[in-house]
Structure formats: structure tokens, C-alpha cells
């Protein structure tokens, strides 16, 4: 497992879980370096999956009915009086099968010859029908719904015009997702797994809130952060503002906006449920590592790439994955565990994609041992497929980290599985310094490392 693993979830594939996600990708070749898997702890593990679209169908409604039998409907025997005479039965309020058929036949006959007889039978005569069916109406000006600034309705009204639906048509099928207008000049931000096939020539179509469509081209994408920028030939668009995700706290109210199951312009509400969830999305050989915001706002297949908005109307995350129960490998629907890429990461990556078409990510230059079960995360003890456990001359090597060392924390944040360390590193930028707590042969020490830059695809 390496701290520089990439990610590229296929368009209709599944993607990330909380705490410890599960990968559904193909196995790496025998002897290949171990990579971080998207698995939660083995016990009670939950699988996170990418959000693909589902088409809803409504089966024709069926009807059934079984007439009752008169005898069976009234099995009571007649009661005897003291003189031995039979007491009269109490009348029943139910119609037997023959009575029901008689009413049905009568209705048909009346329908054939005119409705007057039927009305007289069922309504007791024309005078029993209401003369005026008008229902009460609210008094003029009496109804007022208060939708102040900051209300859900007001936030939704401001955000919806800047959220789009995205359709990608490839040879193997059609994938749909969501996106947000990033710049007035036609730039749109979405997930890489939504538009991944665009790199192979697939057609991308964007549908705007007012219903008009535009073809789009891929500007740049990175599987390492599951982000992509596309562009339409249009100007004067209204962009959403990327807020500061570092200011987000657990309990903040949020709105998720997008096109779940192809239902465009859908808004759901919830709160920020947790921060810094280490989420790994995509195939084992190419996975995105996300220091995710967790939310209980309903997120479903098709929400991928849509914004998670705070009460100020600012985007604090890009909705990317949902958790599913153990053994589930495809997105089946919301269970209140959704994950979003923090807006600060989205801003940094989007700027790189617009300016250069590619993005970079930070590494420390070590291979991690995925079989280690003790405290912290252990550096591999030897080379893997010709790759050294510690990159010679790399950041970790220069700081004195050696094969077999155990990394206990990064910047004071404890790590217990490899994905947590990788996600914590990916949340930084190349050139940032980090402090690792390292154990070597029972002795613990702090080491300072300056993160090195690696480009997507390397």
C-alpha cells in the first residue's frame, strides 16, 4: 500500500464508505505492491459506493375481488323463544353475492336506458344531490408564508439556477450525475467518476435549470481526488461560491442539491454528521482518498458532483459517495450516510485543472503494510515489486523514517489504518510541512516532513 495511490471510479461504479470504505475493483496482479483498500473495519463493515443513476418504473396496478357467499356471510342459526317458536333474525348490513350482482345489473340497465333511474335509486331522488360544491377558500391576503433570508426555501431558490444535470453517453451505456457552475465563462465542477468516459471520447451533455442543453468538453480531471472540470460554450452563467470548509462544524445545517435518479433540481436537507471521515472511492488500482464531510442529507445515485450548501448559500462540499451495508457493491439508495469532498480541496484542485488540465497531490514517499494489525500504521519492511519501502531521497527518507517503522499520528491526529494516513496527507498541499509521531524498535520520536508533489497518473 502506498501513500500515493490514485483513484478513478468508473462512471457507473460504486465508491466510498465511512471510517473504512470497501473497494469493488479487480485484484492487483500477484506480487504487485499492496494498495489501500476501501474497506471499513472487518466487523460490521459498510461499503461506500459511487452514485449512479437508477430509472424508476411503475408496474400496472392489478385488481382483484371475490364475491362472498350468502350462506357463509350469515352462519347464525335462528334463536328459539320459550314457546319453541323461531325468533326473527336481526337484519344484516351486508349485501350477499346475489344482491350485489342485482345492483350491478340494475346499474348497467339504467346506464343503457338513461341515468335518471340510477340516481333515484342511489341518491333518493334528484333533490338529494348538492346544489353547490364550492369549497371554502382562504380570505384574500390572509395567507402568508414567511420565507426569510436563510430559510431552506430561500437558499434553494438561490442555489438551484447554478446546479446542472450531466449526461455522459459512451459505447457501454449512459451515465448521469450533477454539477455546479464554477465560473461565469462556462466552467462546471463535478466528480471525475461522472465524466470519466469523456477522456475516451464519450459525449457529455449539460442540462441547465431552465431546461436548455449544451454539449460540454472535458477541461481536466483527477482520479486522485475524484474531481473534474468541464466547460460549455456559454457565458454569463451564475456561479456558486465555494466557501471555507475549515469553518464547518458538526451539526451545521446543509442542503444537498442535484439530480438523484435523474430527478433534476432536487433539494434535500440535513446536517453535517461528522468531519474528517477517511473515505476511499474507486478501484483498488486507482482510488480517490477523501478527507470527507459526512452528512445525513439524502444523497442518492445521480447526486454525484452536486453541491452541499450551507445556510449562507456557500458550497462547503461536493457530494461524491454514499455508504451501503456489508456485501453491497452497488448504490441502492440513501441510508443517511453520505460523503462530500471539502470545498477547500475542491477549490485548490479545480484551479489546477483549469490552469493546467492536471492536478497534483502530496506524498511522503513510503509503502505501507496493509497486513499490519497493531497500533498505528507500519511502513513496509521490504521492497514491493522492485519499489523500495522508503523512496531514496524522498521526504520520509530525509526525515529518518526507515522500513518497518510505525507511524502513530500525523500533526497530532492518531492513525490506525493506512487509509487514514493517506487521507490526512492528501488533505494537505505539496510543500506543506507535517509532523509524524514515529516508533522505531520501541522508541518513539517526532519527525518533521515536507510533503513532495506528485502529478495525477504518475
Residues involved in catalysis: 193, 226, 304
Ordered DSSP codes for 89-154: PPPPS---HHHHHHHHHHHHHHHHH-SHHHHHHHHSSGGGS-S--PPP-PPTTT------TTSHHH
Radius of gyration of the chain (CA): 32
Q: Report how far residue 244's alpha carbon sits from residue 40's, in angstroms, rounded to the nearest whole number.
A: 28
Ordered DSSP codes for 434-449: EEEEEEETTEEEEEEE
End-to-end CA distance of the chain: give it in Å, rounded: 15
Neighbours of 331 (CB within 10 A): 28
Site of grid cell 438523484: 260
Q: Report how far residue 279's alpha carbon sits from residue 294's, in angstroms, rounded to the nearest whole number.
A: 10
Residue 185 β-bridge partners: none
Look at residues 257, 302, 282, 264 and name the one whose alpha carbon lies nearest to residue 52.
Answer: 302
C-beta separation of 20 from 37 below 8 A: no
Strand runs labelled E in 113-265: 163-170, 173-181, 187-190, 203-207, 213-222, 227-232, 253-258
Amino acid at each position: 500500500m502506498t501513500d500515493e495511490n490514485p483513484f478513478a471510479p468508473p462512471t457507473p461504479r460504486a465508491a466510498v464508505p465511512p471510517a473504512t470504505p470497501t473497494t469493488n475493483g479487480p485484484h492487483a496482479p500477484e506480487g504487485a505492491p499492496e494498495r489501500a483498500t476501501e474497506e471499513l473495519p472487518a466487523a460490521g463493515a459498510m461499503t461506500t459506493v459511487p452514485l449512479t443513476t437508477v430509472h424508476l418504473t411503475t408496474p400496472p396496478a392489478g385488481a382483484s375481488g371475490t364475491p362472498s357467499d350468502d350462506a357463509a356471510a350469515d352462519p347464525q342459526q335462528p334463536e328459539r323463544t320459550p314457546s319453541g317458536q323461531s325468533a326473527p333474525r336481526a337484519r344484516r348490513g351486508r349485501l350477499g353475492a346475489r344482491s350485489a350482482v342485482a345492483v350491478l345489473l340494475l346499474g348497467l340497465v339504467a346506464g343503457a336506458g338513461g341515468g335518471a333511474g340510477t340516481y333515484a335509486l342511489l341518491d333518493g331522488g334528484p333533490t338529494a344531490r348538492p346544489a353547490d360544491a364550492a369549497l371554502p377558500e382562504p380570505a384574500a391576503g390572509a395567507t402568508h408564508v414567511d420565507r426569510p433570508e436563510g430559510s431552506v426555501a430561500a437558499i434553494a431558490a438561490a442555489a438551484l439556477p447554478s446546479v446542472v444535470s450531466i449526461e455522459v453517453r459512451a459505447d457501454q451505456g449512459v451515465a448521469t450525475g450533477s454539477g455546479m457552475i464554477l465560473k461565469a465563462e462556462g466552467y462546471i465542477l463535478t466528480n471525475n467518476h461522472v465524466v470519466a468516459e469523456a477522456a475516451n471520447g464519450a459525449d457529455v451533455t449539460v442540462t441547465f435549470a431552465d431546461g436548455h442543453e449544451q454539449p460540454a468538453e472535458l477541461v481536466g480531471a483527477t482520479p486522485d481526488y475524484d474531481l473534474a472540470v468541464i466547460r460549455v460554450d456559454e457565458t454569463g452563467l451564475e456561479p456558486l461560491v465555494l466557501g471555507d470548509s475549515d469553518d464547518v462544524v458538526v451539526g451545521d445545517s446543509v442542503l444537498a442539491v442535484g439530480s438523484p435518479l435523474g430527478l433534476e433540481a432536487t433539494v434535500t436537507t440535513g446536517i453535517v454528521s461528522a468531519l474528517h471521515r477517511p473515505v476511499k472511492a474507486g478501484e483498488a488500482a486507482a482510488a480517490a482518498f477523501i478527507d470527507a464531510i459526512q452528512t445525513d442529507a439524502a444523497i442518492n445515485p445521480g447526486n454525484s458532483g452536486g453541491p452541499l450548501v450551507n445556510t449562507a448559500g456557500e458550497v462547503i462540499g461536493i457530494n461524491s459517495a454514499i455508504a451501503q451495508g456489508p456485501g453491497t457493491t452497488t448504490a441502492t439508495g440513501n441510508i443517511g450516510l453520505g460523503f462530500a469532498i471539502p470545498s477547500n480541496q475542491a477549490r485548490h484542485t479545480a484551479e489546477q485543472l483549469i490552469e493546467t488540465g492536471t492536478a497534483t497531490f502530496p506524498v511522503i514517499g513510503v509503502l505501507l503494510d496493509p497486513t499490519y494489525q497493531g497500533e498505528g500504521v507500519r511502513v513496509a519492511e521490504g521492497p514491493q515489486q522492485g519499489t523500495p519501502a522508503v523512496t531514496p531521497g524522498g521526504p520520509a527518507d530525509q526525515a529518518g523514517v526507515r522500513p518497518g517503522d510505525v507511524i502513530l499520528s500525523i500533526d497530532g491526529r492518531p492513525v490506525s489504518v493506512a487509509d487514514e494516513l493517506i487521507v490526512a496527507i492528501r488533505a494537505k498541499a505539496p510543500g506543506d510541512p507535517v509532523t509524524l509521531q514515529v516508533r522505531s524498535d520501541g522508541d518513539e520520536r517526532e519527525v518533521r516532513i515536507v510533503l513532495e508533489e506528485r502529478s495525477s497518473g504518475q
